[in-house]
Amino acid sequence: MSKINILVIADHPEILETIIRLINQNEEWNGIGAGSLEEAVASLELNKFDLVLLGVGVDAQTEERILNLCNVKHPAIPCHRHYGGGSGLLYSEIRYALAGG
């Protein structure tokens, strides 16, 4: 069974690494991190994602550009804010988003 691919965008390297590690603890999920808008755009061009999470440091302008890119190129991909920077809310956010919330 193919994994659910999740792109996480955040400009805090340690927190991004933590989130990716937590995502990858679930064997059905595959987390890929992007530390900047440019990395996120490159990842979205190259890979097929099931979910995009916007994490710490993603400002309104970057969020708008990511949302626009998703809408144009990958309209089916849900794009959600991730809050908390750790395990507390992450799993709920992913499950909620994947369920169409």
Partner 1 sequence: MKNAVLHPASSRFFADHGWLQSAQTFSFHGNYDPARIQFGALRVLNDDTVYGGKGFGRHPHDNMEIISIPLKGSLEHQDSMGNAAVINPGEIQVMSAGTGIYHTEFNKNQDQPVSFLQIWLYPDKLNVAPRYGQTDYSKGDRHNRFQQILSPDPNDQGVWIHQQAWFHLAEMDAGIEIEYALKKEGNGVYVFVIDGMVEVNGETLQQRDGYGFWPEGRTVIKALEKSNVLLIEVPEKW
What is the contact surface with partner 1 in residues (CB under 8 A)? Answer: 10, 12, 14-15, 18, 55-57, 59, 83-89, 91-92, 95-96, 99, 101
Give the H/E segment covering residue 50: none
What's the min distance (Å) between Cβ of 86 and partner 1? 5
- The answer to whether the Cα torsion of 7, 12, 15, 21 is positive or negative is positive
Residue 16 is encoded by which pair of tokens? 């991004």
What's the min distance (Å) between Cβ of 15 and partner 1? 5
By beta-carbon proximity to partner 1, the closer residue of 70 and 94 is 94
By beta-carbon proximity to partner 1, the closer residue of 74 and 101 is 101
By beta-carbon proximity to partner 1, the closer residue of 39 and 74 is 39
What's the min distance (Å) between Cβ of 89 and partner 1? 7
| Sheet arrangement for strand 51-54 | 29-34, 4-9, 51-54, 79-81
Q: What are the CA-CA distances from residue 100 to residues 7, 37, 86, 94 (Å)?
A: 17, 25, 22, 10
What's the min distance (Å) between Cβ of 45 and partner 1? 26
